[in-house]
Amino acid sequence: MARVLMTGFAPFGGESVNPSWQAVSRVAARRADVAAVELPCEFSTSLPALRAAIEEHRPSLVVCVGQAGGRAEVTPERVAVNLIDARIPDNAGEQPVDVPVVPGGPAAYFTTLPVKACVAAIREAGVPASVSHTAGTYVCNQVFYGLMHLLPEFPGVRGGFVHVPFSPEQVAASGKAAPSLSVDRIADALEALADTAVKTTEDLVVSAGAEH
């Protein structure tokens, strides 16, 4: 069985590709210890699909990956909040506003990935990276929160969420003035993150705080 489960998302918001899924697929093609699963960008189906993937692959580590257009770095996420506030409809046309991911659930969950150590490893691989303290309020945050809420049902499994920039393909196709990273470099970053997270349980004691 796969040691690491990585998930990416289907394209959304009018895009033809999603670099999260492209990169996750590339990592799985490189490595026998990684399984890749594409999640729908839909509020009603993403978490059932995530649960099914965990039950099928029984990993020791789950790394969910999503697209954060506008970011210039690979950004492991630190905190998931119990909030959905969708700025655009999902791929099923749903646009929930100000509703919880899990009614009655905790206000937030912290990742169980060593995010600072992962950032250091990604940078060592030559890819720009930083810790992020917000996963937004769209399907990415829903999946991150849902993952952390779900993992107690699978003792010993750790997990978290990572955002990645647009790919050059997306920027070229749309004429966006936005930063991008190649899918190969994003895949390199995800490999470095997974290798670090598998062997590291205590994070680095270094500052990764934000001014705002």
* 16, 75, 133, 156 from 194: Cα distances, Å: 27, 13, 19, 16
Q: Are 66 and 24 in contact (CB under 8 A)?
A: no
* Spatial CB neighbours of 112, under 8 Å, sequence gap ≥ 6: 148, 151, 158, 159, 160
Cα–Cα nearest to 19, from 172, 207, 196: 172
d(CA 78, CA 111): 5
Neighbour tally for 65: CB within 10 Å: 30
Neighbour tally for 30: CB within 10 Å: 12
d(CA 39, CA 125): 27
d(CA 127, CA 106): 34
Catalytic residues: 77, 140, 163
Question: What is the token pair recorded at 21?
Answer: 């899924």
Report strand pairing: 75-76 vs 79-81. unpaired
Q: Are 63 and 140 in contact (CB under 8 A)?
A: no
